[in-house]
Amino acid sequence: MVETVLLVGVIASIFVGFNIGGSSTGIAWGPAVGAGLLGKATAAALMTFFVFLGGWTVGRNVMDTLSGDIIAIEISLAAGVAVLFFIGLGILIANVFGVPVPTSMTTVGAIAGLGLATGTLNFETIGWIVSWWIVTPILALWIGATVGRYIYPELNRRFEISSSEGPLLGLDRSGSVPKPALGPNTTYQELGGTITVLVIGCYMAFSAGASNVPNAVAPLVSSGALEVNTAIIVATVAIGLGGFTIARRTMESVGSELSDIPLLAALVVMITASTITTALSWAGIPISLVMASVMTIVGLGWGRATRPVTAREAVRGDVDREMTMGALKAEPDAPITPIGEEESDEALSAENLFNPRAIMKYVSMWIIGPSMSTLLAYGFFIAVPFV
């Protein structure tokens, strides 16, 4: 009987991990794959390795929180399986409707529902987690806005990440022993840019592992049904499986949306989101990588859109503002309107892109998702008290 329940639990874990693999591989590698810097299979392989690394190290802290700190009792095997089903349900809804339902938040929600139903919820821990959930998007937004407004133009001026025709690296066969050399059209700058993108992708994969590996298995670890190390390996295999299969699609869909923003901006987003996620996971706080990513994207765009200078000036960077202003005045074609294009009566305003109400509506989904999962789990565990 116990074996059967455990088997069902592991299958549920694999389902959850598989889907996490699909979505987080898309976020971590979509930009690099979209830019043609590496293939999908290579991305999936790197993903699997760094997810394992993240889960094995930093992820343990989140595992402790999810499996032991949120509720005062251990999660029984049967309850753990039920919790996994609620996490899976959230993922299913996310997949079917294309809505981002943050897995970390659904997981905490479902476990909290169990805690409420059994009167064992550790309110101190849940309050601490939820307060970080409020701080994180604000922090990500603020970092994004600061970079977007003050630093990005300068970064943009200095770094150019491009992908030339032909392979990145080739073999130099001129000597007696073939040695690796730059591909036919590769510049050193391109090589450096590519390495940067790969390193940052690996970093993001690591943070995805740290924050997401516990989601797939923590409910089974709590009762001791699954040993921690085994659990991390099971989760990694499942995430890897998702990375090699369904992530092919998410790398395209997420990648195509992320490719709407310049690669450099995507890298800023990835560094910021990964750092926030890794740091919070280190502190044992379950956090969504997607949430940090999206808020950084919004911050970057909004920060840039609300700059008190025109786009033309921004192109030149605002470091030598005075000098640039002088140069601009002398520039005859500064405020041009492309000829032949019907222009709107008034100039387009980039600020319209970030309507506060639209952003609030978006953020509200992060509140609805975990709340629903808490309520559903609470109702379930009240109705079915055998667990």
Partner 1 sequence: MISRVLVPMDGSEMSEHALEYALEAYPTAEITVLRVVGEPSPLWGEASGLALAEDFEEAAQDLAAPTFERAHELVADAEGDADLETVIELGHPVRAIINRADDYDTVVVGSHGGTVADNLYVGNVAKKVVHQSPVPVVVVR
Applying CB under 8 A, the residues found at the interface with partner 1 are: 97-100, 148, 152, 156, 254, 257-262, 265, 293-294, 297-298, 300-302, 304-305, 311-312, 314-315, 337-338, 341-342, 344, 347-350, 352-355, 358-359, 361-362, 365
Bridge partners (DSSP) of residue 121 are 71
Query: 5-19 in b/e burial notation, b at 16+ Cβ within 10 A?
Result: bbeebbebbbbbbbb
122 versus 306: smaller Cβ distance to partner 1: 306
DSSP output for 226-256: S-HHHHHHHHHHHHHHHHHTTHHHHHHHHHH
Nearer to partner 1, 63 or 204 (CB): 204
Check: CB of residue 239 under 8 Å from CB of residue 94: no
Q: Which is nearer to partner 1, 113 or 193 (CB)?
A: 193
Q: What is the CA radius of gyration of the chain?
A: 24
Min CB(220)–partner 1 separation in Å: 30
101 or 126: whose CB is closer to partner 1? 101
Nearer to partner 1, 187 or 253 (CB): 253
Minimal distance, residue 355 CB to partner 1, in Å: 5
Q: Where does 119-187 have alpha helices with state H?
A: 123-146, 152-158
- CA separation for the pair 149, 336 (Å, rounded): 23
| DSSP, res 350 | G
Helix, strand, or coil (residue 57): coil
Q: How far is the CB of 330 from partner 1 (least distance, A)?
A: 19
Closest by Cα among 131, 110, 112 to 71: 112
Tell me the closest approach of the beta carbon of residue 362 to partner 1, in angstroms.
7
* Shortest separation between residue 314's beta carbon and partner 1, angstroms: 8
Judged by beta carbon, residue 23 or residue 281, the one nearer partner 1 is 23
- Distance in Å, CB of 192 to partner 1, minimum: 22
Min dist. Cβ of residue 68 to partner 1 (A): 33
How many CB atoms sit inside 10 A of residue 243's CB? 33
What is the spatial distance between Cα 263 and Cα 124, in angstroms, rounded to a whole number? Answer: 41
Give the residue with the Cβ less far from partner 1, 163 or 306: 306
